[in-house]
């Protein structure tokens, strides 16, 4: 197999060992990856540039690199469809409050509204720390319970 064909195969199949072996033979005077992790990052970077590699594989390598905080060389014209094709991490908060006693459901509904308001305000201010959000949600829920149930809740 020719060198270009072998290089393409290594890129296409993510063959780290094959790439390291080939690179040491073809370009011993250039920087050689010190370990498999460095070689893997280089391989993914090369895949984002290689037009001969399938777009889905190039997008995968782009995601692999960006998930690890590494730069990607994926061309801009392929990045826009990436939003539809590739995975995205989206932060969110789930809130559900139910009362065992149906007569207390209005209190639960008010507690849920208060918790939602707290989350919306915090996210609008850029406060997305999960522990802080949980703490403020608990405070909002307790405030509603104390306000609406008064002495019953406070003992």
pLDDT digits (tens, 9 = 90+) for 43-99: 999 999 999 999 999 989 998 998 999 998 898 778 765 555 555 667 788 999 999
Q: Which residues lie closer than 8 Å to 105 by C-beta, 6 or more apart?
A: 98, 99
Q: Which residues lie closer than 8 Å to 77 by C-beta, 6 or more apart?
A: none
pTM check: above 0.85 = no
For the segment 116-146, what is each residue's pLDDT rounded down to a tens digit? 999 999 998 988 899 999 999 999 999 998 8
């Amino acid at each position: 197999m020719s060198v270009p064909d072998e290089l393409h195969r290594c890129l296409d199949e993510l063959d780290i060992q094959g790439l390291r072996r080939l690179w040491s033979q073809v370009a011993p005077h250039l920087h050689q990856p010190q370990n498999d992790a460095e070689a893997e990052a280089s391989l993914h970077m090369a895949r984002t540039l290689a037009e001969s590699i399938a777009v889905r594989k190039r997008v995968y390598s782009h995601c692999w690199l960006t998930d690890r905080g590494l730069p990607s060389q994926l061309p801009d014209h392929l990045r826009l469809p990436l939003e539809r094709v590739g995975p995205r991490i989206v932060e969110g908060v789930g809130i559900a409050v139910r009362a065992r006693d149906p007569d207390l459901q209005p209190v639960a509904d008010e507690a849920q509204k208060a918790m939602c308001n707290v989350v919306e305000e915090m996210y609008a201010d850029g406060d997305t720390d999960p522990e802080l959000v949980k703490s403020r949600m608990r405070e909002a829920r307790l405030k509603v319970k104390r306000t609406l149930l008064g002495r019953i809740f406070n003992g």
